[in-house]
Structure 1
Amino acid sequence: MPSPPLQSGSGRHARIIAAWLLVGCALVAATLVVGGVTRLTGSGLSMVDWEPVSGVIPPMSAEGWEREFAAYRDSPEYRLVNRGMSLGEFKRIFWFEYAHRLLGRVIGLVFIVPFAVFLIRRMIPRSLIPRLLLLFALGGAQGLLGWWMVRSGLVDIPRVSPYRLTAHLALAVLVYALTLWTALSLLRPGAGKGDPEAAGGARLRRGAALVVGLAALTLLSGGFVAGLEAGLVYNTFPRMGDGWIPPDLFGASPWWLSPFEDRTTAQFNHRILAMLLLAGVTALWWACARRAPAPARTWAHTGFAAAWVQAALGVATLLMFVPIPLAALHQANALVLFTALLGLAFELRRADAGARMVPAAKRPPAAPRGRDRPRRIR
């Protein structure tokens, strides 16, 4: 996504808008982590109604709690999983889901109120308005998609659809990525002014884009692992059971649905993608350490560290049968890694653009090749 052109003298406004967008990024990240904890604690189906306005206020009296608990007792989860649960136990799972939904509403307010103020004060460049409206529309769609996901677990089977869960995760990651990229474009507008030889070049830029795509794919595969509870099978590493390839791989029917509906296949795919991502981030870090400009190297170092921490957290989470604190850290660090890779891709794109804009007269002469190379005098 190209940087939005800013009018002369609007640098201060750009920094204010960027800070506002970064606050939004932090809230989206918090919502993702709280959503993961909500799923891990089995709290996601505790609120059986969707009330976008009145749902902001939780039960405030004993009667209110009894009404909420009575509605939950009519759900499949209570009848098939939590029969006999006390009101105190219900309150514990209720607050996790309530916090998750409340964060979603806070994000909406944090976006729309400042946006209206900035628009009235003409602080937003015209080129940026469509992008901000797109972000607002995607945020609204995320709320609808979240309720559509919850509805899948309130019908017959007390478990949300892994397809809907992963779609909900994918849209959240998309909103986060677009918001972060827009904020970086405002904080560091225009093209870089680095040395063409130090700008990283098209290969680094393409490599970074490939690794960002691989990171996003690994995140989405984690959504299917979470939706299928695939982390609770084959809790060994590096092998899966007694072998490198489990015997029940591709166990769904038809077989091509196995990556999305079979627990063993979902975990196997997540492992393979995670190892490929670790190798890709390491190779990209090594290349950037020698060729990239300083801002890109900072992002590369952060991504390299986050990738190895992520691998360690993933293995520990698997070996310990998915304890909630470790699983939450694994999800939170995935966002740290994704952020670092996005920042790296942004800086390489910016530096590469700057190298292309250096006038030919100021570029260092190219090294002679072939017949033009001077012969060595012996």
Structure 2
Amino acid sequence: MAAAAKSMRPVRVWLYIVAAMVAVMVMVGGATRLTESGLSITEWKPVTGALPPLSNEAWEAEFAKYREIPQYQRVNRGMSLDEFKTIFWWEWSHRLLGRVIGFVFLLPLVFFWWRGYLNRTLAPRLTLLFVLGGFQGAIGWWMVASGLAGRVSVAPYRLAVHLTFAFLLFAALIWIAGSLREHATRSVPRSVRTGAWIVLVIAFVQVFLGAIVAGLDAGLTYNSWPLMDGRFIPPVDGLLFMDPVWRNLFENTMTAQFMHRMTAYLLFAVAAFHAFQARGTEAEKSAKVLFGMVLGQAVLGIWTLLEVVPISLALAHQFGALAVIGHAVANVQRLTSAETRSEPLPAPA
């Protein structure tokens, strides 16, 4: 068993490298959004789009396409070609990184499959993950397309789907890589494993809500804490004035920020309880680290809000979300690999 686990080390390292690249892409995507660069490329060309404009005429053609969309006409009218190049390079780099990740995943996948590293369970999982990575590119274009007509930015719910799916791919890579490591893990109470799962699920919900806040630029309003517009809980007529009611979550800046705040409190409480219930078990250290990361992310989120979302803090907050999700996934994966039971371990004599 130990020899077999050791032989999988190259596969684990490869998956962790891909996961790191996905994390970098999430950060580049965040910078692309914060610099309002995401709509600078108005066409989806998965193959030919890998090359940037190579002549002044090609640059002028790309700029002309951008001048036709509402973002230029309502927000950036009068932008120079050099200014356009700045936002273009952000979006082009984001798309290029996606293509690079595809190759970094596919080529080793074929090699490891050919060399017999991948069994009948692992090979289909990794193949599916590659397909889902391609699907993420399609989701990205679906998101961008929402901002090319009638809007000056992408639809917040499409941004949320795109970002959350990126986090899911990141989590899947961490999970599979962790499953290839032999853990010397004792039994843990079933309640501890359940608590770890709850923390992870709430963290993903928080990522989705955070993307809604980002898509609405809701962090630029209500820049106080712990009160929001002078109250801990804003009035219902401000939270739910849109009809139908569900629109408030995606289009009401007050509701979006309020939900993000409340979910942060819930995540903090659940992570704290998970750390408490894991005392004396194999999961104690991991649960405490997870709680510390959630606490740090909460402080960073408050700081970002109070400073009215500067790019540096906003990107740090996004990186914090990646760190929390990554550790939460590893925490659950380790506990899932352990033998579980419904009752705690007996106290030592």
Gap regions ≥5 residues in structure 1: 1-6, 357-362, 368-378
| 8 A Cα contact 1:193 1:351, kept in partner | yes
Structure 2: how far apart are the matches of 1:366 and 1:9? 33
Q: Mark the CA change 1:67 to 1:193 in structure 2 (over 3 Å): closer, same or farther.
A: closer
Whole-Å separation in 2 of the counterparts to 1:123 and 1:26? 22
Q: Deviations over 1:218-267 (max 9, x none)?
A: 11111111111111121111001221222311122122321122110010
1:151 pairs with 145, 161, 164, which one?
145
Give the distance between the partners of 2:150 and 2:185, measured in 1 at CA.
60
In structure 2, the partner of 1:100 is 94
Q: Which runs of 4+ in 1 moved over 4 A?
A: 363-367
Contact 2:5 2:182 in 1 (8 A): no
Q: 2:313 aligns with which of 318, 326, 330?
A: 326
1:128 aligned residue (122, 136, 139): 122
The 10-residue stretch of structure 1 (215-224 or 7-16) with the greater mean CA deviation from structure 2 = 7-16
Q: Aligned partners of 1:340, 1:116: CA distance in 2, in Å?
A: 28
C-alpha displacement at 1:47, in angstroms?
Answer: 0.7
The superposition leaves residues 308-346 of structure 1 with CA deviations (integer Å, 9 ceiling, x where unpaired) of 111111111111111110000001011101111111112
Matched residues in 2 for 1:168 and 1:73: separation? 25
Q: Is the partner of 1:254 in helix, strand or coil? A: coil
Partner of 2:250: 260
Between 163-172 and 298-307, the greater mean CA deviation after superposition = 298-307
Cα distance in 1 for residues equivalent to 2:261 and 2:276: 23
Matched, 1:169 2:155: no
| Alpha-carbon shift at residue 131 of structure 1 (Å) | 0.5
Does structure 2 retain, via aligned residues, the 8 Å contact 1:13–1:124?
no
Contact 1:231–1:267 (CA under 8 A) maintained in structure 2: yes
Q: Residue in 1 aligned with 2:213? A: 225
The AA in structure 2 aligned to 1:302 is: V
Amino acid aligned to 1:285: A
Q: Corresponding residue for 2:131? A: 137
In the alignment, what sits opposite 1:335? 322
CA distance change for structure 1 residues 365 and 222 in 2, over 3 Å: closer, same or farther?
Answer: closer
Structure 2 runs not aligned, ≥5 long: none
Partners of 2:50 and 2:274 in 1: how far apart?
45
CA offset at residue 204 of structure 1? 0.4
* Partner secondary structure for residue 40 of structure 2: coil
CA gap of 1:76–1:180, structure 2 versus 1, over 3 A, is same
Amino acid at match of 2:287: A
CA deviation map 1:67-102 (0-9, x unaligned): 221221122211111000011111111111111111
Q: Partner of 2:270 in structure 1?
A: 280
Which of 284, 288, 303 is equivalent to 1:301? Answer: 288
Aligned residue for 2:42?
48
SS at match of 1:255: coil
Structure 1's 95 and 271: CA in aligned 2 closer, same or farther, altered over 3 A?
A: same
1:292 partner letter: T
CA distance in 1, matches of 2:32, 2:262: 27
Give the Cα–Cα distance (whole angstroms) in 1 for the partners of residues 338 and 315 of structure 2. 35
Residue 315 of structure 1 pairs with residue 302 of structure 2: yes
Mark the CA change 1:312 to 1:127 in structure 2 (over 3 Å): closer, same or farther: same
Q: How many residues align?
A: 345
Opposite residue 250 of structure 2, the aligned amino acid is: F
Shift of 1:298: 3.6
Contact 1:28 1:176 in 2 (8 A): yes
Other-structure match for 1:200 = 188
Q: What is the deviation of 1:41?
A: 0.9
The structure with the larger Rg is: 1
Instruction: Give the TM-score taking structure 1 as reference length.
Output: 0.86
Cα distance in 2 between the residues matched to 1:366 and 1:311: 37
Secondary structure in 1 aligned to 2:239? Answer: coil
Q: Give the Cα–Cα distance (whole angstroms) in 1 for the partners of residues 199 and 56 of structure 2.
A: 52
Supply the distance in 2 between the matched residues of 1:30 and 1:343 (Cα, whole angstroms): 19
Retained in 2: the 8 A contact 1:36–1:328? yes
Tell me what 1:370 maps to: none
Q: 1:237 to 1:25 in 2, by over 3 A?
A: same
Q: Is the 8 A contact 2:2 2:182 kept in 1?
A: no
Q: Which amino acid aligns with 1:237?
A: W
**Mapped partners of 2:226, 2:346: distance in 1:** 49
Q: 2:309 and 2:109 mapped to 1: Cα distance?
A: 40
State whether structure 2 residue 67 is matched by structure 1 residue 73: yes
The DSSP-based 3-state class of the residue aligned with 2:23 is: helix
- Matched residue type, 1:46: S
1:373 corresponding residue in structure 2: none
**How much has 1:366 moved relative to structure 2?**
10
Q: Quick check: 2:300–2:317 contact (8 Å CA) kept in 1?
A: yes
Letter in 1 for 2:315: A
Partner of 2:280: 291
Aligned 8 A contact 1:200 1:291 in 2: no
Corresponding residue SS for 1:273: helix
Shift of 1:60: 2.5
* Counterpart code for 1:222: G
Contact 1:300 1:340 in 2 (8 A): no
TM-score (norm 2): 0.93
After TM superposition, give the deviation of residue 200 of structure 1 in Å: 2.9
Whether the aligned pair in 2 keeps the contact of 1:292 and 1:348 (CA below 8 Å) is: no
Deviation (angstroms), 1:122: 1.7
